[in-house]
Amino acid sequence: MVDSLTVNLGNRSYPIRFGSDLREIVAEEVAILIRAGRKVVVVTDERVASAQSEVLQGMVADVPRWAVAAGEQSKSATELGRLWDFFAAQKMDRGGVVLAFGGGVVGDLAGFAAASYLRGVDFYQVPTTLLAMVDSSVGGKTGINIGAGKNLVGAFHQPRAVFIATELLTTLPAREFAAGMAEVIKYGLLGDASLYGELARSPLTVESARVASVVRRCCEAKAQIVEADEFEMAKAGGRALLNLGHTFAHVIEKVAGYGVYLHGEAVGIGLVAAARLSRELGLVDTAVVTAVEAVIGAHQLSIALREPFAVGALMQAMASDKKVRAGGLRFVVLEAVGHAVTRDDVDLNLVEKVWLEVGAVQDTAGT
């Protein structure tokens, strides 16, 4: 059974198609594009291409493919340049189409390559990880990392469609599934207290019967937020709420070195830090922090840094985060479970205190 949800953005609207096995659906879409004379190429990663070779073949047959190395390191200017060269070698014109088959790294990289090649060609998303299914494949944020920080170079470029085939989760490594759960928990914390409560009572696993419904629920939540604030321009709240935990997470990834932490692993610690910051601001009590840590831990995610980093290095990296506005950091904090807000007036001494609570150190040890 195939279900559908529309992200309503005027002439940039697109469907999200949900099902267990979407091979025939994607193959039909690819065939329509090719019959229309459009050049279709696939961007994937080496690990996914191997683990899902049968599914990929069933979806795209002999469409030209480019496989990047698996991992965050592929979200780079170097790999972006290689993709542009691949598109050119395939003689892709303005009618060309890029199909991203992979996790968040592949989607972000392929989407930005599509956004920038010939000033923009269409692309489609076939997410293969839980994190990409519930978050990064929807909303049109594309980009790469540079030395100064994560996702500092990119573009808003909405996909033409997203195909979410939950059968792809069956070969997902346990660590990758856990990383995706950080984003699921995020949706519960920022706007769906009922979902959070369900996760607190019974942790979600890849074998859970409710995986498909939870994925759809997260996509619905993101679609509503993106529809209201597509380009993250709201003065307060809006799409920025989706960054709950991410101001901390992006810094962890940068200081540790891209790829040491999976994005979702860093987000898990970031959610704990955001809850602790919310307590420091007097918005929630210790019981909320303890409960958030319990839910994160129950989903096989760390609640503290795996190794200590100097708080000074973390704060310095924070200063170059893309969420800085008018020289100040914007944080997403909790007023209650299921209700998040943005704050631009946070005392950075409180932020340092939170970093120390989640495993940072005052001296330079571990850096």
| pLDDT 10s digits, 180-191 | 999 999 999 999
* pTM value > 0.75: yes
pLDDT at residue 321, as a whole number: 79
Block residue for tokens 């009618």: 95
pLDDT number for residue 367: 45
- Residue 250, both tokens: 């992006």
| Short-list 132, 124, 288, 114, CA closest to 200 | 288
Task: Give ranges for CATH 3.40.50.1970 in the chain.
Answer: 3-171
Model pLDDT, residue 31? 98
Residue type, 15: P
Distance of alpha carbon 13 from alpha carbon 159, whole angstroms: 9
Topology, domain 3-171: Rossmann fold (3.40.50)
Q: Report, as ranges of residue numbers, the positions in the chain whose pLDDT lies below 50.
A: 365-367
**What mean pLDDT, rounded, does the chain reach?**
96
| Whole-angstrom distance, CA of residue 97 vs CA of residue 63 | 11
- DSSP string computed for 174-228: HHHHHHHHHHHHHHHHHH-HHHHHHHHHS---TT-TTHHHHHHHHHHHHHHHHHH
Which residues of the chain does CATH 1.20.1090.10 include? 174-357
What's the CATH fold of domain 174-357? Dehydroquinate synthase-like, alpha domain (1.20.1090)
